[in-house]
Structure formats: C-alpha cells, structure tokens
C-alpha cells in the first residue's frame, strides 16, 4: 500500500510538471514555452482568449488587422527581437526592421526562415500572401514584394501579434 502511494505521488508530481510546461496562463502575455522548441502549440479558443488581450486575439487567432499607426511597435527603434505573442517563437529582429511609412512594423526578412510560414490569402478579391507563426499558426500579417534590398520583401506585421524583447 505504501509503495502504491509513493507511485501515485510520483505520478502526480510528474503530471503537474508536464502540464505546467504545456499551458500558460497566469494572465495576458505570460508564457512558459521554450522559445527554441519547435513542437506545434495547439490551444482551444478559450485558452487563447484567457492568455491574450482582446486585440491580440482578434489579430492572431481571427486574422484581424490593427489600425495603422496605433500599434506598439510600428515606430520602435530599439535593438532586440520580436517574438510571437501567442507562443514566444522568435519571428523577426530589429536588424531587418525598416521604416516603411505604413504604420505597421515592417521587416525585410524573418529572424529564422522556418518560423514564419506563408499562406495564400484571396480574401476581399485580393491575392495576398498571409504570414503566420509556424509553431502556433498565429496570423502575423502579410508579405509584399515591394520591400528594400537585400530581399526586396516587406513583411507587414501587426504589433498585436508580437512581443518585443530588448537585447
Ligand atoms: Fe506562435
């Protein structure tokens, strides 16, 4: 009996350790994910809503767009990296950020290519390339081919999908 209790105790500790790695949610913008772990992050609508602010949810989970010149980072000139607000994956760095004049943070390339996915977006009769976080499928913004050298690309990203980490 005593042995059985010990086994249950160990199991309970292991399970709680496990679940604290997979869930976040002590409030908006808190995460416990490993930023280098590329394992897919899947959460329910309820869990995303508990983690994100209303605007972050609308943008990342429902492919919304924040109003130009209203986001936190369109004019941010500090050195650092921009991570997914949902799952903390590194997406862009300040080194590739440029002044686009659009009112949204703009980058000419992702920090790590495989972290930013591309999807065809034909909504509203436009043919655009939607960009998403490959780990949690968060909508980030769109990519256009009118960016500066060296890539000629412009990743037009919603501040609400990003979390900036200063160097
Ligand atoms: Fe993500």
d(CA 1, CA 69): 65
> Which pLDDT value is given to residue 36?
62
Residue with tokens 């160097």: 167
d(CA 89, CA 38): 8
Higher pLDDT, 144 or 28: 144
**Rounded distance from Cα 140 to ligand 1 centre (Å):** 9
Alpha carbons within 13 A on the beta-carbon side of 83? 19
Q: Is residue 156 annotated as a catalytic residue, yes or no? A: yes
Q: Give the residue from 157, 101, 92 showing the smallest Cα distance to 129.
A: 157
* DSSP reduced 3-state for 2: helix
Structure tokens at 164: 């900036």
> Which pLDDT value is given to residue 112?
96
> Which pLDDT value is given to residue 154?
98
Instruction: Decide: pTM greater than 0.85.
Output: no
Among 84, 133, 136, 156, the one annotated catalytic: 156
Q: Tell me: pLDDT of 18 over 80.
A: no
**Rounded distance from Cα 136 to ligand 1 centre (Å):** 4
Residues 49-60 pLDDT 10s: 999 999 999 999
> Which pLDDT value is given to residue 39?
85
**Rounded distance from Cα 123 to ligand 1 centre (Å):** 22
CB 157 within 8 A of CB 131: yes
> Which pLDDT value is given to residue 15?
38
> Which pLDDT value is given to residue 32?
57
Query: pLDDT class for 38, splitting at 50, 70, 90?
Result: low
Residue 97 is inside which H or E element, if any? strand 97-98
Residues 146-164 pLDDT 10s: 999 999 999 999 999 999 9
Q: Give the residue from 24, 65, 15, 20 showing the smallest Cα distance to 43.
A: 24
Query: pLDDT class for 34, splitting at 50, 70, 90?
Result: low
d(CA 42, CA 35): 15
Residues 60-106 pLDDT 10s: 999 999 999 999 999 999 999 999 999 999 999 999 999 999 999 99
Structure tokens at 78: 């500090």
Structure tokens at 39: 């394992």
CB 102 within 8 A of CB 144: no
């Amino acid at each position: 009996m005593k042995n059985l209790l010990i086994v249950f105790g160990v199991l309970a500790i292991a399970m709680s350790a496990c679940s604290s790695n997979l869930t976040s949610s002590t409030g908006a913008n808190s995460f416990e994910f490993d930023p280098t772990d590329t394992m897919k992050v899947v959460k329910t609508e309820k869990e995303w809503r508990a983690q994100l602010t209303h605007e972050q949810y609308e943008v990342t989970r429902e492919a919304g767009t924040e109003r130009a010149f209203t986001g936190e980072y369109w004019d941010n000139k500090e050195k650092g990296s921009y991570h997914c607000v949902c799952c903390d994956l590194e997406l862009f760095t300040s080194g590739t950020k440029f002044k686009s004049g659009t009112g949204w943070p703009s980058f000419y390339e992702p920090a790590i290519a495989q972290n930013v996915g591309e999807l065809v977006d034909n909504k509203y009769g436009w043919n655009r390339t939607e960009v998403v976080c490959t780990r949690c499928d968060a909508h980030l913004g769109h990519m256009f081919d009118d960016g500066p050298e060296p890539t000629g690309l412009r990743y037009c990203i919603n501040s609400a999908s990003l979390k900036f980490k200063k160097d």
